[in-house]
């Protein structure tokens, strides 16, 4: 902050970037851009789904560039989010610095409550940074298929994943006739082999397995029905990702939730026996 | 509040509907200049010309494969089962669609070495003759492939929809391409799909000619059915036991029906081909439909409206079975991708018989009220 | 009013319960439009503190009726539930989304009532904050579900994700306007009242299907 005070041009830029008007304008532009994104994305998912596999840069160079009419909103979104992050960072840092300067004015708990909105701001930046690193630096092994007994090696390691057996739960109720005899929860038993170290794990939908910093996710499976059908051969399709962004956006999510909880606690608590005036 | 802020606040909001209309659902719809592009997207399939000697493709399972000419040095960073040497000389193909694409490319007779249907199920003369002469092997049915037999025929490539064979093919070091996708193919993708397989065989010119032929047929049909009068209401699907399967609004048949000024009744359904919906939705559309296209062939029981109703009593109340028309695909329909232009024309002829007088159906049959045998007995 | 509201609420609750229990343990697809009127009805029944503000109650009741009729005539409930919704995060996503929508619409109702009375009070802000909290939790549970189910932070298969984020940004700007006192109370109330249009357009209408005349 002292540097800013001594250099007026930086101070001017800093002030402009910290402006609440900029926040509001950016939020509205983001809302408008995302609404436009809905129109471009709706029923055109096949254009955007590969973003999760090929990464942002490769996607922009291929799908993005060749379908600019449908993808321009996403490119605009990236620019707007970057500006929004800068604005949030500058604005909140400004206020946090002020709060810290005057910290003696507040009791410790009060100070914590006053920091809650800023915690949310920093958490949002963390989430967006996590997203960006996820889409930029994640190493994704495109769809891998295993059948019972087969295995695959994780790239850059000697570790292997072996698919041992498939023992799904079948739908037992009678409320949904279309699900009669169909799998309701797929369960694939995996053996994770790392040298002499063996570990068993169960992979299912929404239940990934983490192994050697790789996330192993069940993408699809067969058979879907007891006794088979068209796809009667047992198989699992996996998505395998080494994603450095996960930790960041999960942490951000946690901090944001803590920030909301703190803010609501402060806000709902009676102030000197009275409710808040805004009620 | 200053005026600039007001401007920034309301201009985007006012502009939003205009932007929404302007942008619409665009996408890569042009198919005529694909050969000049370095990146081509065909639904979920893609082709990327990285260099004159390297093409990277993404198949229906999202797997990246690398095509390199036979005489070029092997790239270092590609697994052998993801590397395909072109032009491919020996192909094993699952199902009818893959084989008919080979026929469309004009490489069926020279490259096909194995299929998953027995001889009597084929309606393509080249395949029947090839199987009779022993040039094309029967590899076992789709779900129980004889991998020893497959290995014996030594294919350079396997075209399949079944992902469960990938690990075994990896062990045998045979590359494969998944030719089915999770989202139904739109009309444009269906017409251009041949361009996806063309670089495997260096048959880009044939693919272009095929596309141009189908495109010309579509243009002609569009012109012919222009101002066709009140739209017909069409549904495409069937009920199997307790499961209702229909073609979604994003499928090529739906798009074709809508293009021809008719009204596809499952336009609001989106997803994979043969998508499952609830029975109430099917019956609701069934009340107002003029035409039903069933998935069942006559061999699968779709011989008459009565027979269809007997198979699925729940169907008996829908309008096409009572006051409308029901069409069933003939067995060779699924093996006729190479005649896509004729199929498009036939669908147009079914929808608008007044524009196609004396047209004899070749790929579909209109179901009679009752089976001929029943009629004779009566 | 209670004569109509209570039976309507019971009927709506029965429908939602039936649909949910039929699909359980999966999440019923596109049940949101049928659940939102129930949420609004429950909120108006339970929120008696401001029972005197007849304008806001009329607004909410009118909106509830409109949403219920729209959900009835334009259902999009024909998709079968999908297996990846067999997780607590998907149910939390649905719950928080409905609560968030309900609170946002309540906020708009109070803002509207304040505007009509000429003396906009800040009561709408309370609902906006609760709506924002629920909406954020809805986004986070969606994010968690997306990571656990697909391994990626965003699942592009459903375009509605963009509209959820758009609504979130709309309310971020409203909260910032209020907390920093940037606009006049009247202008802020007008902005909050416009939230009804935003919420209905961005998070209710996309869940509707084509007209299905039930008779």
Alpha helix positions (H), C47-122: 54-73, 88-117
Query: Which of B235, B281, B286 to probe by mutation at the C interface, max C CB count within 10 Å?
Result: B281
Number of domains forming the structure of chain B? 2
**Is C181 at the interface with chain B, CB within 8 A?**
no
Shared domain check, B247 and B161: no
Taking CA–CA distances from B164, the nearest residue in chain A reads A235
Residue B102: the pLDDT is 96
Shared domain check, B235 and B197: no
- A275 inside domain: no
Q: Which CATH number is A188's domain given?
A: 2.60.98
Higher pLDDT, B143 or B244: B244
Which residue from A88, A117, A93 is spatially nearest to A4, judged by alpha carbons? Answer: A93
Residue B9 has pLDDT above 80, yes or no: no
pTM of the full structure:
0.90
CA of B286 to nearest chain C CA: how many angstroms apart? Answer: 12
Q: Rounded to the nearest 5 degrees, what angle is found at the Cα of B364, between the Cα atoms of B359 and B369? A: 95
- Residue B4's pLDDT band, with cuts at 50, 70 and 90, is low
Shared domain check, A192 and A80: no
Residue C65 has pLDDT above 50, yes or no: yes
A193, containing H or E segment? strand A188-194
- A237 inside domain: yes
Two structure tokens written together for C145 = 């579900």
**Is A146 at the interface with chain B, CB within 8 A?**
yes
- A277 inside domain: no
The partner residue sitting opposite B284, judged by closest CB among C182, C183, C212, is: C212
Q: List chain A residues with CB under 8 Å of C150.
A: 52, 217, 219, 239
- The 3-state DSSP class for residue A237 equals strand
Shared domain check, A174 and A129: no
- A276 inside domain: no
B40: containing domain: 34-201
Is the ipTM reported for this complex over the cut 0.85? yes
Shared domain check, A85 and A40: yes
Contact A208, A239 (CB under 8 A): no
Q: List chain B residues with CB under 8 Å of A49.
A: 44
Neighbours of chain B (3+ CB pairs under 8 A): A, C
Backbone φ, ψ for residue C59 (5° rounding): -60, -50
Higher pLDDT, B300 or C99: C99
B1/C76 touch (CB, cutoff 8 Å), yes or no? no
**Is A50 at the interface with chain B, CB within 8 A?**
yes
Two structure tokens written together for A185 = 């929860």
Spatial distance between the Cα atoms of C97 and C93, rounded to a whole number of angstroms? 6
- B12 inside domain: no
**Is C190 at the interface with chain A, CB within 8 A?**
no
Spatial distance between the Cα atoms of A26 and A124, rounded to a whole number of angstroms? 15
The partner residue sitting opposite B277, judged by closest CB among C79, C183, C187, is: C79
Interface of C with A in 93-112 (CB under 8 A): none
Interface of C with A in 4-63 (CB under 8 A): 21-26
Shared domain check, B236 and B135: no
- A278 inside domain: no
Shared domain check, B144 and B64: yes
- A94 inside domain: yes
Number of domains forming the structure of chain A? 2
Residue B22 has pLDDT above 60, yes or no: no
Neighbours of chain A (3+ CB pairs under 8 A): B, C
Kindly report, residue by residue over B132-161, the tens digit of the pLDDT: 999 999 999 888 899 999 999 999 999 999
Two structure tokens written together for B63 = 């797997």
A178: containing domain: 140-242
Shared domain check, B269 and B172: no
C210/B267 touch (CB, cutoff 8 Å), yes or no? yes
Shared domain check, B184 and B130: yes
- A80 inside domain: yes
| Domain boundary pick from B201, B219, B250 | B201
* Size of the A and B interface in Cβ pairs below 8 Å: 120
**Is B281 at the interface with chain C, CB within 8 A?**
yes
CA of A5 to nearest chain C CA: how many angstroms apart? Answer: 24
- A131 inside domain: yes
Which residue from B66, B189, B61, B325 is spatially nearest to A142, judged by alpha carbons? Answer: B61
C183/B277 touch (CB, cutoff 8 Å), yes or no? no
Shared domain check, B102 and B191: yes
pLDDT tens for each residue of chain A, 279 residues long:
555 566 777 777 877 787 888 999 999 999 999 999 999 999 888 999 999 999 999 999 999 999 999 999 999 999 999 999 999 999 999 899 999 998 888 888 888 899 999 999 999 999 999 999 999 999 999 889 999 999 999 988 999 999 999 999 999 888 888 888 899 999 999 999 999 999 999 999 999 999 999 999 999 999 998 876 666 789 999 999 999 999 999 999 999 999 999 999 988 877 654 444 443
**Is A28 at the interface with chain B, CB within 8 A?**
yes
Shared domain check, B266 and B126: no
The partner residue sitting opposite B278, judged by closest CB among C78, C182, C212, is: C78
Query: Which of B57, B167, B242 to probe by mutation at the A interface, max A CB count within 10 Å?
Result: B167
Residues found in chain A = 279
Interface of C with B in 17-76 (CB under 8 A): 76
**Is C87 at the interface with chain A, CB within 8 A?**
yes
Neighbouring-strand partners of residue B54: B51
Kindly report, residue by residue over B64-121, the tens digit of the pLDDT: 999 999 999 988 888 888 999 999 999 999 989 999 999 999 999 999 999 999 999 9
C151/A278 touch (CB, cutoff 8 Å), yes or no? no
**Is B99 at the interface with chain C, CB within 8 A?**
no
Shared domain check, A190 and A61: no
Segments making up each domain of chain C, as ranges: 2-207
- CB C97: neighbour CB atoms within 10 A? 26
């Amino acid at each position: 902050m002292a540097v800013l005070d001594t250099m007026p041009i930086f101070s001017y830029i800093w002030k402009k970037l910290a402006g609440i008007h900029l926040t509001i304008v950016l939020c509205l532009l983001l809302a408008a851009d995302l609404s436009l994104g809905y129109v471009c994305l709706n029923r055109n998912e096949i254009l955007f789904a590969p973003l999760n596999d090929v990464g942002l840069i490769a996607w922009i160079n291929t799908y993005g560039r060749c379908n600019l009419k449908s993808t321009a909103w996403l490119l605009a979104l990236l620019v707007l989010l970057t500006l929004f992050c800068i604005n949030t960072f500058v604005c909140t840092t400004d206020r946090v610095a002020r709060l810290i300067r005057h910290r003696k004015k507040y009791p410790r708990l009060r100070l914590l409550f006053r920091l809650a909105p800023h915690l949310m701001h920093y958490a949002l930046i963390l989430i967006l940074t996590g997203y960006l690193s996820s889409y930029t630096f994640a190493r994704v092994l495109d769809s891998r298929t295993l059948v019972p007994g087969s295995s695959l090696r994780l790239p850059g390691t000697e570790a292997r994943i072996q698919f041992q057996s498939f023992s799904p739960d079948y739908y037992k109720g009678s409320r949904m006739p279309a699900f009669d005899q169909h799998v309701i929860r797929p369960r694939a038993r995996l053996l994770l082999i790392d040298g002499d170290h063996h570990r068993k794990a169960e992979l299912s939908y929404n239940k990934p397995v983490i192994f050697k910093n790789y996330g192993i996710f069940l993408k699809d499976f067969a058979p879907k029905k007891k006794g088979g059908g068209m796809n009667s051969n047992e198989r699992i399709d996996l998505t395998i990702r080494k994603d450095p962004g996960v930790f960041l956006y999960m942490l951000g999510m946690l901090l944001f939730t803590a920030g909301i909880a703190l803010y609501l606690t402060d806000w709902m608590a009676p102030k000197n026996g009275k409710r808040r005036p805004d009620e | 509040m200053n005026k600039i802020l007001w401007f920034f606040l309301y201009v985007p909001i006012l502009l939003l509907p205009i932007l929404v209309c302007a942008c619409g659902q665009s996408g890569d719809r042009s198919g005529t200049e694909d050969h000049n592009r370095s990146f081509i997207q065909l639904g979920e399939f893609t082709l990327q010309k990285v260099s004159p000697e390297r093409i990277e493709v993404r198949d229906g399972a999202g797997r990246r494969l690398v095509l390199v000419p036979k005489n070029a040095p092997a790239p270092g960073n590609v697994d052998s089962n993801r590397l395909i040497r072109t032009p491919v000389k020996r192909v094993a193909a699952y199902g009818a669609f893959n084989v008919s694409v080979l026929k469309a490319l004009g490489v069926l007779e020279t490259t096909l070495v194995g299929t998953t249907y027995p001889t009597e199920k084929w309606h393509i003369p080249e395949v029947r003759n090839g199987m009779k002469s022993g040039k094309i092997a029967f590899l076992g049915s789709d779900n129980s492939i004889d991998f020893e037999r497959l290995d014996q025929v030594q294919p350079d490539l396997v075209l399949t929809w079944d992902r469960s064979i990938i690990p075994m093919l990896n062990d045998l070091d045979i590359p494969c391409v998944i030719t089915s996708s999770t989202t139904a193919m739109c009309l444009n993708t269906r017409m251009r799909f041949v361009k996806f397989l063309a670089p495997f065989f260096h048959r880009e010119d044939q693919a272009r000619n095929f596309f141009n032929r189908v495109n010309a047929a579509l243009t002609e049909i569009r012109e012919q059915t222009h101002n066709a009068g009140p739209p017909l209401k069409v549904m495409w699907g069937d009920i199997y036991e307790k499961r209702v399967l229909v073609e979604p609004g994003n499928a090529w048949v739906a798009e074709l029906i809508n293009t021809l000024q008719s009204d596809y009744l499952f336009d609001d359904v989106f997803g994979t081909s043969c998508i499952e919906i609830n029975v109430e939705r099917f019956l609701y559309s069934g009340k107002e439909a003029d035409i039903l296209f069933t998935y069942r062939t006559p061999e699968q029981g779709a011989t008459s409206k009565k027979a269809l109703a007997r198979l699925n009593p729940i169907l008996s109340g829908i309008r096409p079975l009572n006051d409308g028309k029901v069409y069933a695909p003939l067995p060779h329909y699924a093996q006729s991708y190479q005649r896509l232009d004729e199929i498009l024309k036939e669908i147009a002829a079914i929808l608008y018989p007044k524009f196609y007088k004396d047209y004899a159906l070749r790929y579909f049959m209109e179901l009679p009220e009752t089976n001929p045998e029943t009629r004779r007995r009566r | 009013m209670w004569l109509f509201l209570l039976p309507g609420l019971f009927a709506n609750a029965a429908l939602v319960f039936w649909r949910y229990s039929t699909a359980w343990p999966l999440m019923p697809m596109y049940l949101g439009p049928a659940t939102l009127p129930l949420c609004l009805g429950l909120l108006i029944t339970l929120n008696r503190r401001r029972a005197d503000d007849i304008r806001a109650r009329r607004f909410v009741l009118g909106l509830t009726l409109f949403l219920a009729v729209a959900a009835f005539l334009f259902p999009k409930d024909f998709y079968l539930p999908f297996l990846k919704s067999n997780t607590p995060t998907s149910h939390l996503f649905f719950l928080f989304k409905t609560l968030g929508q309900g609170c946002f619409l309540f906020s708009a109702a109070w803002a509207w009532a304040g505007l009509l009375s000429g003396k906009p009070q800040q009561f709408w802000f309370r609902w906006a904050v609760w709506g924002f909290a629920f909406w954020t939790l809805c986004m986070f549970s969606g994010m968690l579900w997306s990571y656990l189910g697909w391994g990626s932070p965003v699942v592009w298969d459903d375009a509605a994700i963009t509209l959820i984020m758009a609504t979130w940004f709309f309310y971020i700007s409203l909260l910032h306007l209020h907390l920093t006192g940037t606009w006049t109370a009247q202008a802020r109330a007008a902005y909050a009242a416009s939230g009804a249009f935003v919420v209905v357009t961005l998070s209710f209408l996309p869940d509707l299907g084509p007209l299905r005349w039930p008779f």
